[in-house]
C-alpha cells in the first residue's frame, strides 16, 4: 500500500500534456488532473481495493468535437488539448471529460469479462453508468463545448472509446 504522497506522485508521473506552450499552464493542468484522479483513486481503493492508475496523454486531436477518448487495453486516457486551450472549458474537461474516461477504465477493470462476452461492447452501458454515478457524476455521453472557430453546428458531441 502506497502512502498518499506516493500515490499522488505515481498518478502525476503518468500524465503528459503536449501542445500547450506555456509551461506554467502545463504544470497547473497536470496538478489539476492529478488531484482529480487522486480523489477518484482513493474512492476506488476504498470500495474495490485496487487502483486504476491510468496513463493520461493530453494532446491536440485532429477532431474538433471529441473531447476525450480511452483505450482499455493500454489503460490509457487521451484528452483533447483543443478544449483545454479555451479558459471557459477547462473546468469541464477536468471535472467531466477526465472522469468520463476514467469511468470507462474503471468499468473495464470491474467488468472486463462480462463486457467482452457481449456481441458488441456497450461502452456507455449500465455498468459504465454505475461507474459514473459512483464517481459522483451524471452519466452524460455528450458534451456541449464548442471551439470558437469551429464551423461545426452540432452542439452535442461525444466522448469516445476506441
Write out the three cell numbers for 122: 456497450
Instruction: Report the candidate in 154, 132, 143, 152 with the shortest Cα–Cα distance to residue 68.
Output: 143
Work out whether 96 is an interface residue with Zn ion (CB under 5 A): no
Binding string, residues 122-161; x marks residues near Zn ion by CB under 5 A:
-------------------------------------x--
Nearer to Zn ion, 82 or 124 (CB): 124
Nearer to Zn ion, 96 or 159 (CB): 159
Phi first, then psi, for residue 13 (nearest 5°) are -65, -20
Work out how close the CB of 159 gets to Zn ion at its nearest, in angstroms, rounded to a whole number. Answer: 4
Beta strands in the chain (DSSP E): 15-17, 55-59, 68-71, 76-80, 142-143, 157-158, 160-161
Nearer to Zn ion, 7 or 129 (CB): 129
Cβ atoms 79, 98 nearer than 8 A: yes
Q: Map residue 76 onto helix, strand or coil.
A: strand
Work out whether 107 is an interface residue with Zn ion (CB under 5 A): no
Write out the three cell numbers for 108: 473495464
1-40: which residues touch Zn ion (CB under 5 A)? none
Work out how close the CB of 68 gets to Zn ion at its nearest, in angstroms, rounded to a whole number. Answer: 8
Work out how close the CB of 81 gets to Zn ion at its nearest, in angstroms, rounded to a whole number. Answer: 18
Cβ atoms 96, 126 nearer than 8 A: no
| Residues of this chain that bind Zn ion (CB under 5 A) | 159
Amino acid at each position: 500500500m502506497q502512502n498518499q504522497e506516493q500515490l499522488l506522485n505515481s498518478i502525476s508521473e503518468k500524465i503528459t500534456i503536449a501542445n500547450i506552450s506555456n509551461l506554467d499552464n502545463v504544470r497547473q493542468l497536470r496538478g489539476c488532473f492529478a488531484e482529480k484522479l487522486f480523489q477518484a483513486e482513493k474512492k476506488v481503493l476504498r470500495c474495490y481495493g485496487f487502483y486504476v492508475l491510468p496513463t493520461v496523454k493530453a494532446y491536440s486531436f485532429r477532431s474538433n468535437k471529441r473531447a476525450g477518448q480511452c483505450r482499455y487495453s493500454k489503460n490509457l486516457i487521451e484528452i483533447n488539448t483543443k478544449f483545454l486551450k479555451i479558459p471557459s472549458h477547462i473546468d469541464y474537461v477536468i471535472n467531466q471529460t477526465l472522469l468520463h474516461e476514467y469511468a470507462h477504465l474503471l468499468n473495464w477493470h470491474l467488468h472486463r469479462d462480462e463486457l467482452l462476452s457481449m456481441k458488441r461492447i456497450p461502452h456507455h452501458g449500465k455498468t459504465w453508468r454505475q461507474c459514473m454515478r459512483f464517481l459522483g457524476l451524471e452519466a452524460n455521453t455528450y458534451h456541449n463545448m464548442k471551439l470558437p472557430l469551429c464551423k461545426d453546428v452540432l452542439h452535442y458531441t461525444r466522448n469516445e472509446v476506441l
